[in-house]
Amino acid sequence: MEHQTSNVQVIPADKAKIMKIWKVAGILAAITIVEFIIAFTVPAGGAKSFVFIALTIWKAFYIVSEFMHLGHEKKSLIMSILLPLLFVIFLIFILMVQGASILEVLH
Protein backbone atom coordinates (compact mmCIF):
# COMPACT_ATOMS: atom_id res chain seq x y z
CA MET A 1 0.00 0.00 0.00
CA GLU A 2 1.32 3.38 -0.87
CA HIS A 3 2.03 5.83 1.86
CA GLN A 4 -0.84 8.19 2.39
CA THR A 5 -0.70 11.30 4.49
CA SER A 6 -3.87 11.89 6.38
CA ASN A 7 -5.60 15.15 5.74
CA VAL A 8 -7.66 14.91 8.92
CA GLN A 9 -7.14 17.87 11.23
CA VAL A 10 -6.40 16.79 14.79
CA ILE A 11 -7.73 19.26 17.33
CA PRO A 12 -5.32 19.66 20.29
CA ALA A 13 -6.49 18.33 23.64
CA ASP A 14 -8.23 20.66 26.06
CA LYS A 15 -6.30 20.33 29.35
CA ALA A 16 -9.28 21.39 31.49
CA LYS A 17 -11.49 18.70 29.95
CA ILE A 18 -8.92 15.96 30.58
CA MET A 19 -8.45 17.19 34.14
CA LYS A 20 -12.21 16.95 34.71
CA ILE A 21 -12.25 13.30 33.57
CA TRP A 22 -9.45 12.40 35.99
CA LYS A 23 -11.18 14.35 38.75
CA VAL A 24 -14.35 12.26 38.34
CA ALA A 25 -12.19 9.12 38.33
CA GLY A 26 -10.59 10.31 41.57
CA ILE A 27 -14.02 10.84 43.17
CA LEU A 28 -15.09 7.31 42.16
CA ALA A 29 -11.91 5.83 43.62
CA ALA A 30 -12.30 7.86 46.82
CA ILE A 31 -15.90 6.70 47.35
CA THR A 32 -14.78 3.08 46.84
CA ILE A 33 -12.02 3.52 49.44
CA VAL A 34 -14.56 5.01 51.88
CA GLU A 35 -16.74 1.94 51.29
CA PHE A 36 -13.81 -0.29 52.22
CA ILE A 37 -13.11 1.65 55.41
CA ILE A 38 -16.76 1.37 56.42
CA ALA A 39 -16.80 -2.34 55.55
CA PHE A 40 -14.04 -3.05 58.07
CA THR A 41 -14.79 -0.61 60.88
CA VAL A 42 -18.56 -0.36 61.25
CA PRO A 43 -20.55 -3.33 62.64
CA ALA A 44 -23.23 -4.77 60.37
CA GLY A 45 -26.73 -3.39 60.58
CA GLY A 46 -29.44 -1.46 58.83
CA ALA A 47 -27.58 1.86 59.00
CA LYS A 48 -24.46 0.34 57.42
CA SER A 49 -26.46 -1.09 54.51
CA PHE A 50 -28.17 2.26 54.04
CA VAL A 51 -24.82 4.07 53.83
CA PHE A 52 -23.52 1.50 51.31
CA ILE A 53 -26.59 1.93 49.09
CA ALA A 54 -26.35 5.74 49.30
CA LEU A 55 -22.64 5.65 48.31
CA THR A 56 -23.43 3.24 45.45
CA ILE A 57 -26.10 5.56 44.06
CA TRP A 58 -23.66 8.45 44.42
CA LYS A 59 -21.09 6.54 42.33
CA ALA A 60 -23.77 5.55 39.81
CA PHE A 61 -24.69 9.23 39.46
CA TYR A 62 -21.12 10.17 38.52
CA ILE A 63 -20.73 7.29 36.04
CA VAL A 64 -24.05 7.96 34.29
CA SER A 65 -23.92 11.74 34.39
CA GLU A 66 -20.25 12.34 33.51
CA PHE A 67 -18.80 9.18 31.91
CA MET A 68 -21.94 8.36 29.95
CA HIS A 69 -22.55 12.06 29.44
CA LEU A 70 -26.25 11.82 30.29
CA GLY A 71 -26.06 14.92 32.49
CA HIS A 72 -25.23 16.99 29.42
CA GLU A 73 -27.98 15.60 27.16
CA LYS A 74 -31.38 17.14 26.53
CA LYS A 75 -33.85 16.95 29.38
CA SER A 76 -36.25 14.78 27.38
CA LEU A 77 -33.50 12.16 26.91
CA ILE A 78 -32.56 12.26 30.61
CA MET A 79 -36.18 11.73 31.62
CA SER A 80 -36.72 8.96 29.03
CA ILE A 81 -33.96 6.99 30.73
CA LEU A 82 -34.58 7.86 34.38
CA LEU A 83 -38.37 7.73 34.72
CA PRO A 84 -38.81 4.07 33.61
CA LEU A 85 -36.44 3.11 36.44
CA LEU A 86 -39.23 3.95 38.90
CA PHE A 87 -40.54 0.45 38.14
CA VAL A 88 -37.39 -0.91 39.77
CA ILE A 89 -38.30 0.81 43.05
CA PHE A 90 -41.69 -0.85 42.91
CA LEU A 91 -40.09 -4.25 42.31
CA ILE A 92 -37.77 -3.76 45.30
CA PHE A 93 -40.75 -2.98 47.53
CA ILE A 94 -42.90 -5.88 46.34
CA LEU A 95 -40.16 -8.54 46.50
CA MET A 96 -38.95 -7.44 49.96
CA VAL A 97 -42.50 -7.95 51.26
CA GLN A 98 -42.53 -11.33 49.53
CA GLY A 99 -39.17 -12.31 51.02
CA ALA A 100 -40.31 -11.42 54.54
CA SER A 101 -43.43 -13.58 54.10
CA ILE A 102 -41.41 -16.58 52.88
CA LEU A 103 -39.09 -16.25 55.89
CA GLU A 104 -42.10 -16.23 58.20
CA VAL A 105 -43.70 -19.31 56.61
CA LEU A 106 -40.57 -21.45 56.27
CA HIS A 107 -38.69 -20.67 59.47
Interface residue list for other proteins (CB under 8 A): 6, 8-13, 17-18, 21-22, 25, 28-29, 32, 35-36, 39-40, 44, 48-49, 52-53, 55-56, 59-60, 63-64, 66-68, 73-74, 76-77, 80-81, 84-85, 87-88, 91-92, 95-96, 98-100, 102-103, 106-107
Distance of alpha carbon 67 from alpha carbon 44, whole angstroms: 32
Rounded to the nearest whole angstrom, what is the least distance from the CB of residue 20 to other proteins in the complex?
10
C-beta of 2: minimal distance to other proteins in Å? Answer: 14
Give one DSSP letter per residue of 31-68, joined into a string. Answer: HHHHHHHHHHHSPSSHHHHHHHHHHHHHHHHHIIIIIS
Task: Give min distance, CB of 99 to other proteins, in A.
Answer: 3
Please report how close the Cβ of residue 80 comes to other proteins at its closest, in angstroms. 7
User: Three-state DSSP class for 96?
Assistant: helix
**CA 52 – CA 85 distance, rounded (Å):** 20
